[in-house]
A and B are shown apart, each in its own frame.
Chain A
Amino acid sequence: EPEVTQTPSHQVTQMGQEVILRCVPISNHLYFYWYRQILGQKVEFLVSFYNNEISEKSEIFDDQFSVERPDGSNFTLKIRSTKLEDSAMYFCASSGFLGQGVNEKLFFGSGTQLSVL
């Protein structure tokens, strides 16, 4: 079965540094998402992306966050100036083929564990 690929699996950074988390969604999927999960807490929605623009974003997704689809295969999440509270597992997801009509089945990657020191 096709899968969403995320790199790196672990990222350690100093507070205030910029990080870029990378994702390769499933080929030909149209909808892209970032979620995060702080240790022991719920999976939280960050942002959704379709047709080269943000569809929806949560309160967590403030000006320090940005997403980009720089080419036909990658989807990135950038945190401009990391804070201690950004430490979490970040999951990328994708869904929806052209003509499929609905996009309910999200495929998630295995995540990037971000540790901010």
Chain B
Amino acid sequence: DAKTTQPPSMDCAEGRAANLPCNHSTISGNEYVYWYRQIHSQGPQYIIHGLKNNETNEMASLIITEDRKSSTLILPHATLRDTAVYYCIVRVSYTGTASKLTFGTGTRLQVTL
């Protein structure tokens, strides 16, 4: 699986958009970009994933550059409850077999008043 690089920490004011970058310059053509987050030692929580098109769901938007070497997770209106560690994970999406996620150190997002 391709390696990812994320800033160790970021701050964001409540109500503003939080833009979390991820660099994955060695990504392969069949590898997806996944985002999970972990709120204060709870179990990780799935946010969103994508292959090459931008994706949006009720939690966030995922913007993947055209060359797929980097991506940005956007929380459009951050709240205090979005304070968490955000993990960008790149891997092939497997079918018919259980496959692991490899978590890095992620970005610690602190949302402030």
Contacts and interface: CB of A to CB of B under 8 A. Distances in A.
Interface stretch (B3-11, B13-21, B71-79, B94-102): B94-102
B98 A105 contact: no
Nearest to A44: B103
A20 interface: no
B105 interface: yes
Interface residues of B, number: 24
A106 interface: yes
Contacts of A95: 98
A45 B101 contact: yes
A104 B92 CA distance: 9
A23 to B, nearest CB: 11
Chain A interface mostly: strand
Interface residues of A, number: 33
Chain B interface mostly: loop
A104 B41 contact: no
A45 B100 contact: yes
Given A95-B98, A102-B94, 14 more contacts: A45-B103, A48-B99, A55-B97, A55-B99, A58-B100, A91-B44, A93-B44, A103-B98, A104-B32, A105-B46, A108-B44, A110-B43, A111-B41, A111-B43
27 contacts: A4-B43, A33-B98, A45-B100, A45-B101, A45-B103, A48-B98, A48-B100, A55-B97, A89-B41, A91-B43, A91-B44, A93-B44, A95-B98, A101-B95, A102-B95, A103-B93, A103-B98, A103-B99, A105-B49, A106-B36, A106-B44, A107-B46, A108-B43, A108-B44, A110-B43, A111-B42, A111-B43
Interface of A: 4, 30-33, 35, 37, 42-45, 48-50, 55-56, 58, 89, 91, 93, 95-96, 101-111
